[in-house]
Structure 1
Amino acid sequence: MKKFIAVFLVLYFIINPIATAAETKTYSQGFYTMKDLNLSENTIYKVQNNEPYVQGLLIILDSNSRVQQLIRIPSNSTENTLIPLAKDYKFIIYNNVNLTFFQ
């Protein structure tokens, strides 16, 4: 019984981080910060729209509320490259879309 528990715990801690790293989070209409989206500073990300019939709009603002990037994201888009991000950037996602951010 002790062997079974030990093997189970080892497998759990090996498999669990792999499963959580593979999860992708989608974000819908709203206001977000870098922390909300779990994005890192000075990293180039890509964004895609997972909705089949709805276009979206992504607006990236700096700390002075100046637009740094505005992207119209078509439905079922594969990837749109973002500018390198700073820690104080804010994001506005407009329309009923589901956006996924990835590297």
Structure 2
Amino acid sequence: MKKFLTLSSIFLLLLFSINTITAVAQVNQSKRFKEGFYSMNDLGLLENVSYKVENVSNYNGFLVVFDSEQKIQQAISLEPHSTKHPLKTIRNTDRVVILGQGELIFSY
């Protein structure tokens, strides 16, 4: 009986230790976006949240936000290593265009 309990305990210990899953959360990892056309999903932004944008590169950048009717909602010229500039709230139907060689980061 002792052998059975000992073997069962060892077996269960090995069984639970083999199936461990390590979860790692990435907190505040900011992505850099270069020249291109982006949707809200591409940028990983949420609708109706106030975001800020900054240029973290050595080059100028230019950001334009278009609504669903292709009307310009906001345009910002970003100098190299700029401070954070507030953006108007962006909707899911809006499109963001980044021009220039700058690399932009969005934060809230």
Please indicate the TM-score interval, normalised by the length of the shorter structure. 0.7 to 0.9
Coordinate RMSD, CA, aligned: 1.6
Q: Distance in 1 between matches of 2:41 and 2:29?
A: 17
Match of 1:67 in 2: 72
**Structure-to-structure mapping, 1:38-77, within 5 angstroms:** 38-52=44-58, 54-77=59-82
Provide the secondary structure at the position in 2 that maps to 1:26.
coil
**Structure-to-structure mapping, 1:83-94, within 5 angstroms:** 83-94=88-99
Aligned residues: 95
* Larger fraction in helix: 1
Match of 1:95 in 2: 100
Deviation of the 1:21 alpha carbon: 2.5
Q: Distance in 2 between matches of 1:5 and 1:83?
A: 49
Deviation of the 1:38 alpha carbon: 0.8
Counting aligned pairs with the same residue, the percent is: 29
Structure 1 unaligned regions, length at least 5: none
Larger radius of gyration: 2
Deviation of the 1:4 alpha carbon: 5.6
Structure 2 unaligned regions, length at least 5: 1-12
Q: Distance in 1 between matches of 2:36 and 2:104?
A: 11
Measured against aligned partners, the alpha-carbon deviations of 1:34-85 in whole angstroms (never above 9, x if no partner) come to: 1110111110000110112x11100000001000000001110120100011
Q: TM-score, normalised by structure 2?
A: 0.80
Q: TM-score, normalised by structure 1?
A: 0.83
Provide the secondary structure at the position in 1 that maps to 2:27.
helix
